[in-house]
Structure 1
Amino acid sequence: MDNQIQVEQYKIQKPEEWAGNIGDEEIINRIKDSEFARRQIDEGRDYCYFLDKKYYTSNTENSEYVCMAYTLNEPGNLERASVSDVIVEENEIYQIHRISVLRDGVLIDKIPDTKIKVLDSENQSSGGVLSSNKKINITIKDLRLYDVLILEDSRIKEFTDRDFLRKEFSKYVWVSPDNYWAYGSFKFTFINERDQTIAYKKTFFRDEQGNVLEPEVNHLKKGDRFVIEEQNYINPVDSGREIFPYVDFATESNWKDLSNYVVPIYEEVFNKASLKDFAPNLIEKLDAITDQDEKLRFAIEYVQNHIYYIFNADEMNGHKPQEPSVTYENKQGDCKAKSVLLKVILDYIGVEASVVLVNFNTDYYIKYYLPSLLSFNHVVVKVNYKGQEYFIDATIRDEFGLIENRGFMYFMHYLEVKKDQELQVRKPYKYPYFCIDEKVDFIAQGNTGKLTLSTTYKGNRANAMRRYFKSTNKREIIDSWNSFLFYALNYSGDRNGTDVRNVFKDAAIDVVSDDKRLNEVKVQYSASVENPYFVDPQKNRFLMYFDRNVVKASARDFMHKDLPFWHNFDSEKYEINLHTDHKIDTEEKYTVQESTIANPYFDYKSRKKVNKNGASVYIEYNPLINIEIPQSEFEQFRNDHHIVADSNFGLGIDIIEPGLMNRLKFSFKKKFK
């Protein structure tokens, strides 16, 4: 181990001083069978004899050390251990300290049996994702079932000038381990060697009864350590219904100071050059548009569609954006660059706009995290226009419409790049339009049904439908509609297993109009159906159309102790018309049933019109979205969705069969029902 093999991305060497040094005898002594170990192994659980993890941070580096010993008792685990990949960032070095196995009580060094390859990790570069990350592929020969594998390694990330934010601020989140594993010994240590104080916050830890404890905040001065240590440990978290306990470490600060730190960085590039100086051709096009709504639309779509999105993973580690003149000249940039350019253009046309920092991936947790600029991973533009607040993601392509008709972005927390800002929470939102507005006509005559769906999509739905029709084969689109209708018409109940192409004859679908100003796509589907009625086992016939998309299964099935329900459904409107050349039961309960729901989080209304040969239902669903529903209000919310699911999401009509005996049978059935 004294001989160092140095390659740019990895080294084989002893651990750094801060990580400590563990000898072979100590390793062997720590791999001892116990009653707890035998019980876990007998149950088929993968067992880790010990896991010792350390995270070290200073003003020049962030580093992580791990030493662990675990069983290879399962073939799948053996395969994963034999070939593994480690991704390292720019200027990050992977240090291998030990690869050994304990076999029949003997410790065997496996480094001579290890082959290491360094590969580029640029498999997404054609999509605009640039990264100088490297993939270190590690192959270990002759690992055997029932070996105990010992791995000891570190990742050392030294900061460059580009990592100015990481030099200034620390951010690390320790999450309690996966409850699949059992640990004889588990230890985590956070080491602060920064000049600044680091705060840490313990969140979603529980008492012995499983109740969540109040978050606990403490501080680490330079040289201090935080330690979590457990013996004979299996994480008790109910992973399906509970959030794993975690500890958030961040350089002590507050949102106001952080906003004031980042504002000068952005103001410097805002003030570098005016739009008139570097984009005279763009200004000429903007000035030629007299309608302000259209001018705003042109500005947004220009940056989204004419400036190529480059995600540079290394540069995203900081918050220094590219100058707008460079972005315009090169016609490419990351989210910061595109957002800054869009703001500069909006400033020119007199539309109030600001850059905001967000993190869609961990949005829910930001309210629990300690204040840190490193909690954000994306930049968007906030626009105030005609008294309304909008958020525009400049990196999205193929979005259309005047600003009030554009797609809606779901997230809750953001930090605005302005002086003296606090973390802000977006207001809940109601769509000013129906995302789906659909009319269904199903006319049954004789033994044939004529089915027509006319659907208007707006906002996100319109953008998605354009992409879908552009990228999908027409036959596949028709099959998708057919499959949906097979269930909507309840044919799955009496002809399951039938090829849907044999049920829906002459099926056709087309985009009949696409208004990009209104961001409105209209689609029409038509087909003929032989044997249009659903027939139950008693040979009763029905026409049925129930759109299961209206039933929000995620709301009805939601079960979580810690997470509130995130409400983000689309507004919907349906008109369903069923007509037959037979008489129908005009008093059947579910045929005439209507509903009105006025929940704080959604309004739902279904209204019916019934005549002797058919019926219509008119459904409107208007949700209040981009909001978390408190647990104290969730059960009523769930119950109201159960009401929707109780035959209020479509229409069914019962056929009265012709003939005197059938009418008498029907009358008798109604009387004694």
Structure 2
Amino acid sequence: MENPMPIENYRIHQPEAWAGSMDDQQLIRRIKESDFSESQINEGRDYCYFLDKKYCTSNTENKEYVCMAYTLNEPSNLERASVTDIVVEENEIYNIHRISVLRDGVLIDKIPDTKIKVLDNENQSSGGILSSNKKINITIKDLRLYDVLILEDTRVKGFTDRDFLRKEFSKYVWVSPDNYWAYGNFRFTFINERNETIAYKKTFFRDEQGNVLDPEVNYLKKGEQFIIDEENYINPVDANREIFPFIDFATESTWKDLSNYIAPIYEEIFSKASLQEFAPNLVEKLDAIADQDEKLQFAVEYVQNHIYYIFNADEMNGHKPQDPSVTYQNKQGDCKAKSVLLKVILDYIGIDSSIVLVNFHTDFYIKYYLPSLLSFNHVIVKINYKGETYFIDATIRDEFGLIENRGFIYFMHYLEVKRDQELQERKAYKFPYYCIDEKVEFHAQDTKGTLKLTTTYKGNRANAMRRYFKNTNKREVVDSWNNFLFYSLNYSNDRNGTDVRNIFKDAIIDIVSDDKKLNEFKIQYQATVENPYYVDAKNNRFLMYFDRNVVKASARDFMHKDLPFWHNFDSERYEIHLYTDQKIDTDEKYTAQESTINNPYFEYTSRKKITKNGAAVFIDYKPLVNLEIPPSEFEDFRTAHHTVADSNFGLGIDIIEPGLMNRLKFSFKKRFNN
């Protein structure tokens, strides 16, 4: 075996007694064919003869043992098995017990054919992401199709002083296995060797009819085990419509107890912090700003843009924040450090704020998890100002605006770092402004059209567009708008394959204004359009403008039995004007059609103004966001979006062609349709 680096993060030796052991003959006996295995393999399903997993937690370390044997009947599976990367954390050891194959009934030790490299798992340091994780690259030579691969290993994570939270609290989430695999035997064991009681909560398990069972909570005292043991097992979960059953294991606690544990850690930091002492220059700048709104904006943007964000994975394992004087002096810190510094600044200028713990990635599941500080992976700041509550992520860059105009952060659950707190849910939110406010003017005369779009973006949209225009080539920006308009004007149906630059002549796009207080970013697009009318197969001409961004496809297509729909759409207003030098059908159904929707989760109106040579539509969309729509109310919500999609997201006008025969044809068509 070739080992080019010293053995630091892995070892090769026999498993410890707690994990158990099998000799070669016992192993071979467990890899046996059955009617179940043959039927699965004949169906082309990869087959795992057995999977034994054991997780043991104590106050000094976490250990996870795995022993498995599975088929290499697919070339892709063979490739994945031949080269594997194992990422280990700081002070974590990967113990290799067995790498073998069963080939034609003979057990072959593959450790001599294994090449192991230990690499730094560090490829994002230039982006401020620091980690002492190591990547163990394992390459196994001469694996063959139809081998049975046997792997046996243990990961051991010992706790350092920096892992004080892991010493005090345990958290482990077991998720039911991938339903791609069939298992002859699947066995999972959780072992509690901690002094404290471990609670475990079974969630999204189902009865034989597929109905979700009520969550079940039980407890493990020190030395007790929880075991799942399944024979001839295929996970029955419908992966596209259902949440995989999972079990959350966590040290028994309450949210109030946890808040009382974490609050004193932050209180100690704040008690030592004096902004006047460690940041006199910053204090001088703050004192020079008379307006409190502007002072608050300056404080937020100073921490966001002048303090470099460093995500230190090892530091994030605990919750002890860096002293704000160090953060200010070094001009860098992780989310805890930046949030603490921002709160110290806000305290100085007399604005009420607090630190809150969140996890944007698993926000939906937090309400199902047992109480645990280890459920959170991010820290932000909650600000109470002028009767409103705002949340600021101090790690974000290039955000602007007075507090009420800044971007909105979508999440629901948080724990405030104060004493005697419970897990909190944010209220639903309605934007006090339009995230997109757009006016479209399209004039068609003879064989040419002039098109102008004036768009104002606010909040998250303004921040995103500001970054987009800053970082994107101007030609690329114009092409992006051209491509969007190619579909909005329905040219994709009568001139598909045409270079859009030959349709939209002399197209330009300019930034009209950029107000950093209102956080308004305004742009204007202009172009001359060759052959402005959409022409159908019968040579009928139309002017059309339908903005498909208004149609929320994710709401119309959503299908899930367990996940409620997460409502996070922007508020929007559109004003679309289409003019022509031709006579139009002012009574055409879809030209005149208007809509009013008063759904509990959004208000939507489209209103029309029609003249003999043109029409305008005014679309207003105000959603109630940052909430889950209950399944019982979702179909009405979906139906309302179908109504929007029924030609209520834009405007089309039919041209009445000149000439007596065309007018007679139009009159006949009108009578026939009636």
Alignment of 1:462-473 (within 5 A): 462-473=462-473
- Residues 386-405 of structure 1 aligned to structure 2 (within 5 Å): 386-405=386-405
Segment drifting more, 300-309 vs 500-509: 500-509
Query: Aligned to 1:240, what secondary structure does the other structure show?
Result: coil
Counterpart-to-counterpart distance in 1, 2:303 and 2:6:
45
Q: Output the CA distance in 2 between the equivalents of 1:94 and 1:138.
A: 12
Q: Check if 1:652 corresponds to 2:639.
A: no
Query: Which stretch of the first structure deviates more once superposed, 558-567 or 501-510?
Result: 501-510
Q: How does 1:237-636 map to 2 (within 5 A)?
A: 237-636=237-636
Could you say which residue in structure 2 is the equivalent of 1:75? 75
Partners of 1:366 and 1:253 in 2: CA distance: 15
Query: TM-score, length-normalised on structure 2?
Result: 0.99
Alpha-carbon separation, structure 2, partners of 1:256 and 1:26: 50
Alpha-carbon distance, 1:116 to partner: 0.3
Q: Is the 8 A contact 2:273 2:344 kept in 1?
A: no
Q: Give the secondary-structure state (helix, strand or coil) at the position aligned to 2:45.
A: coil
| Identity among equivalent pairs (%) | 81
Distance, in Å, in 1 between the alignment partners of 2:203 and 2:192 is: 20
Q: Any gaps of 5 or more consecutive residues in structure 1?
A: none
Q: Is contact 1:442-1:579 (8 Å) kept?
A: yes
For residues 317 and 534 of structure 1, what CA distance do their matches in structure 2 show?
59
For 1:48 and 1:468, the matched residues in 2 are separated by 48
What is the aligned partner in structure 1 of residue 213 from structure 2?
A: 213
Give me the whole-angstrom Cα distance separating, in 2, the residues matched to 1:15 and 1:90: 21
Aligned partner of 2:119 in structure 1 is 119
Could you tell me which amino acid in structure 1 is paired with residue 225 of structure 2? Answer: R
Query: In the alignment, is the contact (CA less than 8 A) between 2:171 and 2:374 conserved in 1?
Result: yes
Residue 273 of structure 1 and its aligned partner are, at CA, apart by: 2.7
Q: Supply the distance in 2 between the matched residues of 1:95 and 1:465 (Cα, whole angstroms).
A: 49
The answer to whether the Cα contact below 8 Å between 1:299 and 1:345 also exists between their aligned partners in 2 is yes
The CA distance in 2 between the partners of 1:28 and 1:623, in whole Å, is: 61
Which string of whole-angstrom CA distances, capped at 9 and with x for unpartnered residues, describes residues 630-655 of structure 1?
A: 00110100000000000000000000
What letter is aligned with 1:375? Answer: S
Q: Which amino acid aligns with 1:63?
A: K
Question: What SS does the corresponding residue of 1:371 show, helix, strand or coil?
Answer: coil
Deviation at 1:49, TM superposition (A): 0.6
Tell me, what secondary structure is at the counterpart of 2:576? strand
SS in 2 for 1:39: helix
Provide the TM-score with structure 1 as the length reference: 0.99
| Paired residue secondary structure (1:407) | coil
Tell whether 2:47 aligns with 1:86: no
Structure 1 position 6, deviation (Å): 7.8
Root mean square deviation, CA, Å? 0.9
User: For 1:59-118, what per-residue CA distance to the aligned partner results, in whole angstroms no more than 9, with x for missing partners?
Assistant: 000111100001111111111111110000000000000000000000000000001000
Partner SS for 2:430: coil
The residue correspondences of 1:138-287 to structure 2 (distance < 5 A) are 138-287=138-287
The CA deviation string for residues 277-300 of structure 1, in whole angstroms up to 9 with x for no partner, is: 100000000000000000000000
Whole-Å separation in 2 of the counterparts to 1:136 and 1:407: 40
Once the two structures are overlaid, the 10-residue window that deviates more, 412-421 or 469-478, is 469-478
User: CA separation in 2, counterparts of 1:393 and 1:662?
Assistant: 62
For structure 2, the residue ranges without an aligned partner over 5 or more in a row are: none
Contact 1:509–1:525 (CA under 8 A) maintained in structure 2: yes
1:120 deviates by 0.3
Question: What is the alpha-carbon distance in structure 2 between the residues aligned to residue 188 and residue 271 of structure 1?
Answer: 47
How many pairs align?
A: 670
Structure 1 CA distance for aligned equivalents of residues 246 and 187 of structure 2: 14
> Shift of the alpha carbon at 1:242?
0.2
Equivalents in 1 of 2:268, 2:115: separation in Å? 48
Moved more, 379-388 or 466-475: 466-475
3-state SS of paired residue (1:222): coil
1:6–1:12 contact (8 Å) kept in structure 2: no
Contact 1:309 1:395 in 2 (8 A): yes
3-state DSSP of counterpart to 2:195: coil
Q: Partners in 1 of 2:517 and 2:500 — Cα distance?
A: 36
Alignment check: 8 A CA contact 1:402 1:518 kept: yes
On the 8 A contact 2:202/2:246 being kept in 1, the answer is yes
State the one-letter code of the partner of 1:318.
G
d(CA) in 1 for partners of 2:606, 2:396: 36
Q: Secondary structure at the match of 2:76?
A: helix
How much does 1:442 deviate?
0.5
Distance 1:328 1:271 in 2: 16
Counterpart CA distance in 1 for 2:645 and 2:251 is 49
Deviations, residues 495-514 of structure 1 (Å, cap 9, x unaligned): 11111111111111111111
Which letter maps to 1:212? V
For residues 246-280 of structure 1, the C-alpha deviation after alignment (integer angstroms, 9 at most, x for no partner) is 00000000000000000010011111131111000
Match of 1:9 in 2: 9
Which 10-residue stretch deviates more, 5-14 or 401-410?
5-14
Aligned partner of 2:41 in structure 1 is: 41
**Matched residue type, 2:596:** T
Residue identity opposite 1:307 in structure 2 = I
Contact 2:335 2:394 in 1 (8 A): yes
The separation in 1 between residues aligned to 2:628 and 2:603, in whole angstroms, is: 17
Deviations 1:160-217 (A, max 9, x none): 0000000000000000011111111101110000000000000000000000000000
Distance 1:539 1:634 in 2: 42
CA distance in 2, matches of 1:96, 1:510: 61
